[in-house]
């Protein structure tokens, strides 16, 4: 197996490990993160959202619409998770649905539209004379 493939799998596994650690053992994971001041998590959220936006931008500019559809679908978990976090941590259901629920619907709609697009027809090569 190529070294870059191994490293790519490492990135995937690390993302799942850290993400699940925060969901299943948040206090333990937070202490290992190193931020003591809770306002530091604003930076974490900002960086997360920028990383998602840059990933989508790269795929969009590279005209990788099918891959973009799958990435957008996978990343729909972000507004869904944000919606659930607001509802379960002191926010109102109405606000959670209005802000994060509506974002989730738009993201899922975008993913669905991208994934159902037909690939553009390839132009037939002109025969050489």
Give the confidence band of 113 by pLDDT, cuts at 50, 70, 90. Answer: very high
pLDDT of res. 123: 65
CA distance 69 to 118: 12
How sure is the predictor about 105, in pLDDT bands with cuts at 50, 70 and 90?
very high
pLDDT band at 121 (very low <50, low <70, confident <90, very high): low
- C-alpha to C-alpha distance for 89 and 23, rounded to whole angstroms: 13
Give the model's confidence band at 79: pLDDT under 50 very low, under 70 low, under 90 confident, else very high: very high
117 in Cβ contact with 65 (< 8 Å)? yes
Q: For residue 39, what is the DSSP state?
A: T
Residue 53 makes CB contacts below 8 A (sequence gap 6+) with none
Q: Measured between alpha carbons, how far is 78 from 83 in angstroms, rounded to an integer?
A: 9
Q: Model pTM?
A: 0.79
Using pLDDT thresholds of 50, 70 and 90, give the confidence band for residue 39. confident
């Amino acid at each position: 197996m190529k070294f870059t493939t191994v490293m790519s799998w490492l990135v995937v596994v690390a993302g799942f490990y850290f993400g699940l650690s925060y969901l299943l053992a948040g206090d333990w994971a937070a202490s290992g993160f190193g931020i003591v001041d809770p306002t530091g998590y604003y930076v974490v959220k900002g960086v997360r959202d920028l990383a998602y936006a840059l990933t989508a931008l790269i795929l969009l500019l590279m005209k990788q619409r099918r891959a973009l559809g799958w990435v957008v679908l996978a990343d729909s978990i972000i507004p869904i998770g944000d919606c659930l976090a607001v509802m379960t941590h002191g926010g109102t259901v109405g606000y959670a649905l209005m802000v994060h629920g509506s974002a989730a619907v738009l993201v899922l709609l975008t993913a669905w539209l991208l994934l159902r697009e037909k690939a553009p027809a390839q132009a037939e090569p002109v025969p050489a004379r």
